[in-house]
């Protein structure tokens, strides 16, 4: 019997410490800046996107387990382990509630609420393009430039409708059109035609060439507006991450000679408004002080170094392109973004305000990069009504 009690005691200790270790690991994934290795980054984004459930469920389980075992003989003799598990569970529970409380306060500022059930609405990510919607919008060299066309259901409208040109993310070197399909479906449900475009990727293309591709796509949509019952004066440009950077840069340089569209366009490539989800705004700031300053891939992508390609860094940095007459701008950025520092969005918002430009900046509390890949998390629940109001105001629909 003493042997059995000893085994039971150590099994109890092991269970309590394992639970505490799990909670600490989850806390690290949610709150601590970690190296951006693919698996670590994916785990961090997933943990942050569902942080209330990811932290709350183990925390509640730990509290229930400690209470259930507290009066047993095993716990009386290993109470230190119970205290460790209890402390970890309490911290995890408080950490699970903090992002919700902050998000609820932000949602209420915008006249909205949050739904716990909606947090489990699923992913907003597609592993490949929507090929049944695909067409070629230009040929640039040997590259066939494609877009996926998402149109609202029902009959062709009697009057023209607004459109959104959507630019995918992926660090300028990966990603694909229709990568976040639930945004396209959501926009279609509200009457917007969506043209989800691709652009040439690094390292074969520079950032300025990618901006030219975005302008090329805008020109194509303008030239084919009647075909899709689109009002060419009500085109909104939107993008996520690197796509947000390209969208802002293309919108802010629409009237400039550089960078030029990468194909022949009918008319100008201006847009009614522009939206950036967690996009970089200062390319020099993204690499300053890091090893990437000397990385030949970065130099190739930017067309040179900070010294030799200063014009390229300026044209690809929306924060350096601000004027009072830039298109109305919506910036959505997570305060806990561990890939694109939130200070980039704050700086652009500050400069837009100083210039008197029409803009709105919404900072999503505790949200990490790519928060909208979870279609139901607190950040996406805040972003949807904010985007809806912005589009109604500036695209008139």
For the stretch 195-252, pLDDT in tens is 999 999 999 999 999 999 999 999 999 999 999 999 999 999 999 999 999 999 999 9
pLDDT at 2 over 50: no
Neighbours of 325 (CB within 10 A): 10
Residue 319 and residue 284 in contact, taking contact as beta carbons nearer than 8 Å: no
Query: Helix axis angle, 242-252 relative to 207-223, nearest 10°?
Result: 70
CATH topology of domain 131-395: Rossmann fold (3.40.50)
Higher pLDDT, 358 or 51: 358
Full-model pTM: 0.89
Phi, psi of 276, rounded to the nearest 5 degrees: -125, 125
pLDDT band at residue 1, thresholds of 50, 70 and 90? very low
Is residue 336 flagged as an active site residue?
Answer: no
> Where exactly are the structural domains of the chain?
2-109, 131-395
- Residues 47-95 pLDDT 10s: 777 778 888 888 888 888 777 776 665 555 567 777 788 888 888 888 8
Is residue 168 flagged as an active site residue?
Answer: no
Tokens of 28: 């690290």
The residue from 337, 349, 368, 394 that is catalytic is 337
The residue from 168, 333, 336, 369 that is catalytic is 369
Q: Listing from the earlier edge strand, what are the strands of the sheet with 273-277?
A: 134-140, 143-150, 193-197, 161-167, 230-240, 273-277, 329-334, 359-364
The residue from 44, 89, 95, 241 that is catalytic is 241
Phi, psi of 264, rounded to the nearest 5 degrees: -70, 135
Taking alpha carbons only, the member of 248, 180, 250 closest to residue 212 is 250
């Amino acid at each position: 019997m003493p042997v059995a009690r000893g085994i039971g005691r150590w099994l109890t200790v092991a269970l309590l410490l394992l639970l505490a270790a799990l909670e600490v690991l989850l806390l690290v994934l949610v709150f601590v800046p970690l190296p951006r290795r693919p698996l670590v980054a994916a785990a961090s984004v997933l943990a942050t996107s569902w942080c209330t459930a990811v932290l709350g469920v183990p925390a509640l389980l730990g509290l229930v387990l400690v209470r259930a075992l507290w009066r047993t003989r095993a716990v009386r003799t290993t109470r230190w382990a119970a205290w460790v598990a209890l402390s970890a569970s309490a911290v995890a529970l408080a950490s699970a509630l903090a992002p919700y409380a902050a998000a609820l306060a932000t949602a209420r500022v915008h006249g909205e609420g949050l739904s716990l059930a909606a947090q489990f609405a699923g992913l907003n990510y597609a592993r490949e393009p929507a090929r049944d919607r695909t067409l070629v919008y230009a040929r640039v060299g040997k590259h066939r430039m494609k877009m996926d066309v998402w149109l609202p259901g029902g009959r062709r409208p009697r009057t023209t409708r607004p459109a959104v040109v959507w630019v995918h993310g992926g660090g300028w070197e990966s990603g694909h059109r229709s990568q976040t399909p639930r945004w396209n479906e959501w926009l279609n449900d509200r009457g917007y035609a969506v043209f989800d475009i691709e652009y040439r990727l690094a390292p074969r293309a520079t950032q300025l060439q990618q901006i030219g591709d975005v302008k090329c796509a805008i020109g194509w949509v303008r030239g084919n507006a009647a075909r899709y019952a689109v009002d060419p004066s009500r085109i909104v440009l939107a993008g996520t991450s690197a796509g947000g950077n390209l969208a802002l840069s293309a919108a802010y340089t629409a009237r400039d000679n550089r960078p030029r569209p990468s194909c022949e366009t009918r008319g100008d490539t201006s847009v009614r408004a522009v939206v950036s989800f967690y996009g970089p705004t200062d390319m020099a700031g993204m690499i300053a002080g890091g090893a990437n300053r000397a990385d030949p891939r970065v130099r190739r992508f930017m067309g040179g170094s900070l010294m030799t390609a200063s014009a390229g860094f300026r044209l690809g940095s929306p924060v350096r392109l601000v004027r009072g007459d830039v298109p109305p701008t919506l910036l959505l950025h997570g305060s806990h973004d561990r890939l694109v520092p939130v200070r980039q969005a704050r700086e652009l918002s500050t400069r837009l305000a100083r210039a008197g430009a029409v803009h709105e900046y919404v900072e999503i509390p505790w949200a990490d990069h790519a928060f909208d890949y979870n279609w139901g998390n607190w950040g996406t629940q805040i972003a949807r009504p904010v985007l809806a109001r912005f589009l109604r105001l500036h695209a008139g629909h």
